Structure 1
């Protein structure tokens, strides 16, 4: 689920880059953000973001306990069909969680999810993070289709996905139950040839963002 209230390779060969001002190892870059692998020690951050009422509503889930979030991160870390990252600013400040999930290397499909800190929404970081992750999916992994889903009422997330090149394919009617109400869910996707047609620089063309 994308929310904006939204086997990592490296963009620099096999070298391990470190974000300025942070001890986090950066494995991939966007224009203004970097991606670092999510670890169990990040559970408190993720727990805090998910506890935000607007976030809980937009992604259609209720907040979990810190221990449950930690256990989920531990379980996901061993899941070879997904890759989870922290979204970092140039100074190393973590502002969100982004993931490429349900990776099917045979069919070349995967899903993308994004959750941003409330204080950093509406500033273009969501688009940058999504752009970076789809560059990973199509540039380093053999993906042909990357899919995203979100509530049809989540205009912020729909805007992020549209600016990243995703096309809305349809609506799953009454597909989500949340807080006693049924919600329609929009299905969006970006295909490899659509990604190739984008004129923006790719992650591997970018230098480290200035602080």
Structure 2
């Protein structure tokens, strides 16, 4: 489990709730370009359930419809899993726009995997690549990782674009791997190695000012 010092933590403004109130402040534990991470909490299960129920995400991710209680159970289980770290992706005003996780952490082999889900209403604005950039900075900057990988449907152009923008290389395709709505889908296998990350010409998360867009 990644431990981030309190020196990097700060509160961000809450977002307006449906009843006109303001959601509680969230603690920022990591930053990217125009986004920030806050640890995923079991109380975020309803938000995750809403995203998983969206038809765009259901089509591109291939999710199976699940009850809120089932999603809450999964979030709680993941929260206790020491081999993964889950975060909400926040805008500067505290609006949650996605869920990202560093999973399958194996510090002996130096490997891990990334999963990412964005609110469809906030796609196409660069938040996906910014979030992936920030998470690989966290993985390579704070852990002795050598390889971070990700997989996505070969038809999911948004996810493939976010990964390519973050420097990931498609290494291969697992053909006809999953079934969704009566159709077989291929999965593209993508990865970023430490030396490739080191060669990227961009500021790292710890070099970004808090108000960076």
Q: Distance in 2 between matches of 1:89 and 1:98?
A: 14
**1:48 paired to 2:22:** no
How many residue pairs get matched? Answer: 203
Question: Runs (4+) of structure 1 moved beyond 4 Å?
Answer: none
After superposition, residues 58-207 of structure 1 pair within 5 angstroms as: 58-207=60-209
Structure 1 unaligned segments of length 5 or more: list them: 1-6
Structure 2 unaligned segments of length 5 or more: list them: 15-24
Corresponding residue for 2:7? 15
CA deviation map 1:168-200 (0-9, x unaligned): 000001111111211111000000000000010
Asked whether the 8 Å contact 2:33–2:212 carries over to 1, the reply is no
TM-score between the two structures when normalised by the length of structure 2: 0.92
CA deviation map 1:22-81 (0-9, x unaligned): 311111100100000000110011000110011011111122111111110110111000
Corresponding residue for 2:22? none
Corresponding residue for 1:3? none
Flag the structure with more relative contact order, 1 or 2, with Cα contacts below 8 A and sequence separation at least 6. Answer: 1
Range 82-91 or range 173-182, more displaced: 173-182
Deviation for aligned residue 1:210: 5.8
Q: Distance in 1 between matches of 2:8 and 2:45?
A: 23
